[in-house]
């Protein structure tokens, strides 16, 4: 699939997600994960790394796409924004793992969207272990709102915190999670 | 972890995102930085009122126009560089032109004046103060800009860091101009422009370390 055929649909999902539509946001992340998987598998294959490492990068990029989604300019195309983030995560990953072959060719944004791949492998990331490294406040907020699916007001009552404190804890928790994922020791 | 589980986690109970968030964060950082530089100026030199002499008013206005021009152009670059993707080069070209215009003007001034006066024009009063105060005044703006940019997603940390340094240096220089007018155009280029360039280089060096995400 190419950008031209997919961009309008992905962009519509992104805009709906930015307005708070859960289903659109999940659907966007699912569709993007297939493209990202194919892209990272291809790039990592060149340096002899397997699908599990690629899946790490897919998940890392999904977290980045989600926690930095306010940096998307609604008036612009979506796919170049996604490509820039995917490429940045790849370059950062290669630098972190000190790969010998560090140049990532600059392609058009189509590079990410050239193929999709839905063959799922588990990543090397362990969500339970990652969550255990957050502060209790953040962990609890993410558990209630993100994993148990409570509304913010329900979670606020359960945790004995204000609603805005819950929102802030979820937000900070996801940021902290992306940092933990980035700084984990290479597997 | 399965990617579907992660998508579920990320996609559950999402908050709507307001449009102008990135812009507001950066503008707030700019305001905080400017206020910080001004506070430091007041703390060290007191109110700038008396320093505004009529003799150098033109040069003060020129110095302010140059530094605030750099702040505005640099900020417009940062607004784009804070988002993933290509920020475009136009603001960088404008910044280069601002420096080039002032440099040409100072060469012309030097050519038009007697060589015996050059020393006085170049090493005007307080040139050393510029060298120390402008980087000093730029610390708060730089810190607040980095704080803001870390919330965003710059994909080119060297250039983003450099321009953040430039904007911070130019804000520091603008604050210093309020206190002390340059005595000549070559003075502005050398002792205002020079420290701004230093801040830019420092920003470029620190960028990759401070702006990683």
Which of B149, B151, B130 has the alpha carbon at shortest distance from B207?
B149
Disruptive mutation site among A33, A71, A84 for chain B (greatest number of B CBs within 10 Å): A71
Of B2, B11, B84, the CB nearest to A71: B84
Structure confidence at residue A110 as a pLDDT band (50, 70, 90): low
Residues belonging to chain A:
187
Which of B159, B140, B160 has the alpha carbon at shortest distance from B151?
B160
CA distance B108 to A13: 58
pLDDT of A102: 59
What's the N-to-C CA distance of chain A in angstroms?
A: 32
Structure confidence at residue A118 as a pLDDT band (50, 70, 90): confident
Examine the pLDDT at A168 and tell me if it is beyond 50.
yes
Cβ separation A22–B14 shorter than 8 A:
yes
Tens of pLDDT along chain B (213 residues) come to 888 889 999 999 898 998 889 999 999 999 999 999 999 999 988 776 655 556 678 888 899 999 999 999 999 999 999 999 988 899 999 999 999 999 999 999 999 988 888 888 888 777 888 889 999 999 999 999 999 999 999 999 999 999 999 999 999 999 998 888 777 888 899 999 999 999 999 999 999 999 999
pLDDT of B114: 85
Residues belonging to chain B:
213
Examine the pLDDT at A3 and tell me if it is beyond 60.
no
Cβ separation B155–A85 shorter than 8 A:
yes
Compute how many other C-beta atoms are within 10 angstroms of the C-beta atom of residue B208.
14
The answer to whether residue A142 neighbours chain B at the CB level (below 8 Å) is yes
pLDDT of A1: 41
pLDDT of A149: 87
In angstroms, what separates the C-alpha of A18 from chain B's closest C-alpha?
Answer: 5
The answer to whether residue B116 neighbours chain A at the CB level (below 8 Å) is no
**Chain B environment of A165 (Cβ under 8 Å):** none
In angstroms, what separates the C-alpha of A88 from chain B's closest C-alpha?
Answer: 6
Cβ separation B13–A142 shorter than 8 A:
no
Which tens digits make up the pLDDT trace of B37-59? 999 999 988 776 655 556 678 88
Of A29, A74, A76, the CB nearest to B10: A29
In angstroms, what separates the C-alpha of B80 from chain A's closest C-alpha?
Answer: 9
Of A30, A62, A146, the CB nearest to B13: A146
Percent of chain A clearing pLDDT 70 (strictly above) = 89
Which tens digits make up the pLDDT trace of A17-36? 999 999 999 999 999 999 99
Examine the pLDDT at A89 and tell me if it is beyond 90.
yes
**Chain A environment of B156 (Cβ under 8 Å):** none
Cβ separation B3–A123 shorter than 8 A:
yes
Residues A133/A180, Cβ–Cβ less than 8 Å: yes
The answer to whether residue B3 neighbours chain A at the CB level (below 8 Å) is yes
The answer to whether residue B97 neighbours chain A at the CB level (below 8 Å) is no
């Amino acid at each position: 699939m190419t950008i031209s055929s997919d961009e309008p649909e992905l962009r519509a999902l992104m805009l709906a997600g930015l307005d708070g539509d859960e289903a659109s946001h999940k659907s966007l992340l699912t569709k993007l994960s297939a493209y990202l998987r194919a892209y990272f598998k291809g790039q990592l294959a060149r340096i002899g790394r397997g699908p599990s490492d690629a899946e790490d990068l897919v998940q890392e990029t999904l977290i980045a796409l989600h926690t930095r989604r306010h940096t998307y300019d609604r008036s612009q195309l979506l796919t170049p924004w996604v490509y820039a983030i995917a490429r940045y995560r790849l370059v950062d990953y290669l630098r972190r793992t000190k790969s010998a072959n560090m140049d990532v060719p600059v392609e058009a944004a189509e590079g990410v969207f050239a193929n999709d791949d839905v063959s799922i492998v588990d990543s090397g990331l362990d969500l339970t272990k990652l969550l255990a490294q957050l502060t209790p406040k953040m962990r609890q907020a993410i558990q209630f709102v993100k994993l148990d699916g409570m509304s913010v007001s329900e979670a606020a009552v359960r945790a004995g915190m204000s609603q805005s404190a819950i929102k802030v804890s979820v937000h900070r928790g996801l940021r902290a999670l992306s940092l933990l994922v980035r700084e984990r020791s290479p597997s | 972890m399965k990617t579907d589980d992660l998508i579920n986690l990320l996609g559950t109970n999402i908050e709507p995102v307001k449009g102008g968030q990135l812009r507001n964060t950066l503008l707030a950082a700019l305001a905080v930085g400017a206020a910080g530089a001004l506070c430091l100026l007041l703390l060290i030199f007191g109110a700038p009122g008396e320093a505004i002499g009529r003799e150098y008013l033109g040069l003060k206005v020129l110095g302010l126009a140059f530094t605030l021009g750099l702040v505005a152009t640099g900020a417009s670059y940062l607004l784009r560089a804070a988002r993933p993707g290509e920020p475009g080069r136009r603001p960088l070209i404008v910044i280069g032109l601002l420096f080039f215009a002032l440099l040409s003007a100072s060469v012309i001034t030097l050519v038009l004046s007697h060589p015996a006066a050059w020393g006085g024009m170049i090493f005007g009063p307080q040139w050393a103060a510029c060298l120390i105060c402008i980087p000093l005044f730029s610390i708060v703006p730089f810190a607040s800009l980095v704080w803001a940019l870390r919330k965003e997603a710059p994909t080119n940390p060297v250039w983003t860091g450099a321009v953040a340094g430039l904007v911070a240096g130019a804000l520091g220089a603008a604050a210093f101009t309020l206190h002390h007018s340059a005595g000549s155009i070559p003075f502005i280029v050398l002792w205002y422009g020079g420290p701004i360039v230093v801040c830019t280089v420092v920003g470029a060096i620190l960028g990759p370390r401070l702006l990683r995400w």
